[in-house]
Structure 1
């Protein structure tokens, strides 16, 4: 999303992503990570094992979509980081979710409190 664009009532490319792919983007929004670190974060979130055969094809799809950048840390380890388009996809999805959730001032206050607790 360019500076001239704003978050709209539609999640943009985020609507084309699976929840699993959206979760990968959210994890990478914090900081770049290598594959096994992403896997551990997802396993903690899902409280279940995440198969390599699920993770890496999804990472490759996100790279092909231009939402994630893949770089080589060493000959055996790749690092993944969020691109600007990936950050925009996360913001678009959050904007859409928040827009649906906030139906009155009370809910807006709940969301502000949640955000403040994360800082």
Structure 2
């Protein structure tokens, strides 16, 4: 996960927290968090990068809509990241 951008990491986390979200659902959650619009030209290439890295899988709901799920590797990477973060911030929370 060290080679992901912060935005890509946020995409992974949001995908993990939702049940087979489509791109628009991921986009809406991130827009709420970032408090700004996320353009499709930023969203979908970054989702594709995470798919290419094997952290999420892309499926098809219908001819126009894809959905995303976190892979076993993606979940393991999230867990490793959380453990790494905890060693630095656990005592301040």
Query: 1:58 — aligned with what?
Result: 46
- 1:92: how far off? 1.3
Query: 1:89 — aligned with what?
Result: 77
TM-score (norm 1): 0.74
RMSD of aligned residue pairs (Cα, Å): 1.1
- 1:25: how far off? 1.0
**Any runs of at least 4 consecutive aligned residues in structure 1 with deviations exceeding 4 A, and if so which?**
none
Structure 2: distance between partners of 1:91 and 1:24: 15
Which secondary structure state, in structure 2, belongs to the residue aligned with residue 74 of structure 1? coil
TM-score (norm 2): 0.93
Q: Which of 41, 56, 72 does residue 29 from structure 2 map onto? A: 41
In our comparison, the structure showing a higher alpha carbon Rg is 1
- 1:100: how far off? 1.3
Unaligned runs of 5+ in 2: none
Which secondary structure state, in structure 2, belongs to the residue aligned with residue 79 of structure 1? strand
Structure 2: distance between partners of 1:93 and 1:22: 10
User: Where in structure 2 are the equivalents of 1:15-30 lying within 5 Å?
Assistant: 15-30=2-17
Unaligned runs of 5+ in 1: 1-13, 111-119
Equivalenced residue count is 92
